[in-house]
Amino acid sequence: MTAFTIREVPDDVASRLKVRAAEAGQSLQAYLLALVTREATQPTLAEIAQRAERYATSEIDNDEVLRLIDEGRAAR
């Protein structure tokens, strides 16, 4: 695994993050890892737009649309 260091975090930001971690019952490290992981796994607007463009130029029938909706729901 890779380790990250973030320098020059303002004191008020660090304090708020520590409080939020404590409220979530997590260490600061676990809380920040969850934040970074969530950010890295969410598609960006550009990725969503690319995906939409691909789908807009594809020939998809109703059965395929329903299958993709079911897949999306199952992935939640």
pTM here is 0.62
Contact predicate 21/30, CB 8 Å: yes
Question: What residues contact 28, with CB distance under 8 A and at least 6 apart?
Answer: 17, 18, 21
Annotate 14-29 with DSSP letters as a single string: HHHHHHHHHHTT--HH
Q: Please write the tens of the pLDDT for every residue from 34-70.
A: 999 999 999 999 999 998 888 777 677 888 889 989 9
DSSP 42: S
What sign has the CA pseudo-torsion 25, 31, 33, 38?
positive
Which helix (H) or strand (E) segment holds residue 2: the answer is none
To the nearest whole percent, how much of the chain has pLDDT over 70?
Answer: 99
